[in-house]
Amino acid sequence: MKKVDWDFIIIGAGTAGLAAAQYAARSFMRTLVIESDLCGGQALFIYQLENYPGLWPAVSGGTFIENMKNQATTFGATIEKMEISSIDKKDDVFYVKSKDKTITSHALLITTGATHRKLGIPGEEEFYSKGVSYCATCDGPFFRNKKIVVIGGGDSACDEANFLSNLSKDVTLIHRRDELRAQKAVADRVLKNPNIKVLFNTIVTEIKGDQVVQELIIQDVLTKEKSSLAADGVFIFVGMDPQTQLINSLPKDEGGHIITDEYMQTAIKGMYCAGDIRSKPFRQLITAASDGAIAAHCAGKYIRDELGEMCC
Told to judge if 312 belongs to the known catalytic residues of this protein, a careful annotator would answer no
Which of 138, 178, 188, 261 is the catalytic position?
138
- The CA-based dihedral angle spanning residues 299, 32, 62, 162, taken in that order and rounded to the nearest 10 degrees: -40
Strands 233-236 and 148-151, by their bridges, are: parallel
Query: What are the C-alpha distances in Å from 23 to residues 8, 61, 66, 256?
Result: 11, 20, 16, 28
Residue 23 host element (H or E): helix 15-26
Told to judge if 155 belongs to the known catalytic residues of this protein, a careful annotator would answer no
Which of 37, 39, 92, 135 is the catalytic position?
135
Which residue from 65, 49, 51 is spatially nearest to 163, judged by alpha carbons?
49
Largest Cα–Cα separation, the chain: 68
Q: How many CB atoms lie within 10 A of CB 268?
A: 14
Told to judge if 139 belongs to the known catalytic residues of this protein, a careful annotator would answer yes
The rounded distance, in Å, linking the Cα atoms of 261 and 229 is 47
Which of 139, 220, 241, 311 is the catalytic position?
139
Residue 218 carries which DSSP code?
E
**Residues classed as catalytic:** 135, 138-139
